[in-house]
Amino acid sequence: MPTEQADRRHEPRIALETAAHLNKLAAEAGVIRGYLGQTVDLSMGGAYVRVRARGSISPGEALTVSIGIPWEFRNIFPFSRIVGSCRVIRVDGPRREA
């Protein structure tokens, strides 16, 4: 019988679709690879971001991220942009359309 995983998040997630710019330092000396994605949800402790870069981002990789916060969400997030470094926790496989 499968067991349910406990949600370990400390902050509630807010459904928010907005642009996310991700960068990683590639294996070649000093080359930065940029990706454009879109958030699905966001909290003060993390974000779920969809990126169309299949196979090029892996769990455990360090990225830099920049996410703009729309004006109507500034009562929840008291800033206009999230900028910093992050670590990829999980990568989902491609979704198949029916």
**Residue 53 DSSP class:** -
State mean pLDDT over 31-60.
Answer: 86
Above 70 in pLDDT, residue 45? yes
pTM value is 0.72
Q: So what's the pLDDT on residue 13?
A: 87
Contact 23, 35 (CB under 8 A): yes
Q: How many whole angstroms separate alpha carbon 37 and alpha carbon 78?
A: 22
Q: Using one digit for the tens of pLDDT, what is the confidence trace for 66-93?
A: 999 998 888 888 888 989 999 999 888 7
Chain centroid to CA 76: how far?
Answer: 18
Contact 11, 48 (CB under 8 A): no
Structure tokens at 35: 């990706």
Q: Using one digit for the tens of pLDDT, what is the confidence trace for 18-41?
A: 999 999 877 666 677 889 999 999
Structure tokens at 73: 């969400």
Instruction: Return the sign of the alpha-carbon dihedral for residues 76, 6, 56, 23.
Output: positive
Higher pLDDT, 31 or 49: 49
Q: How many whole angstroms separate alpha carbon 90 and alpha carbon 75?
A: 29
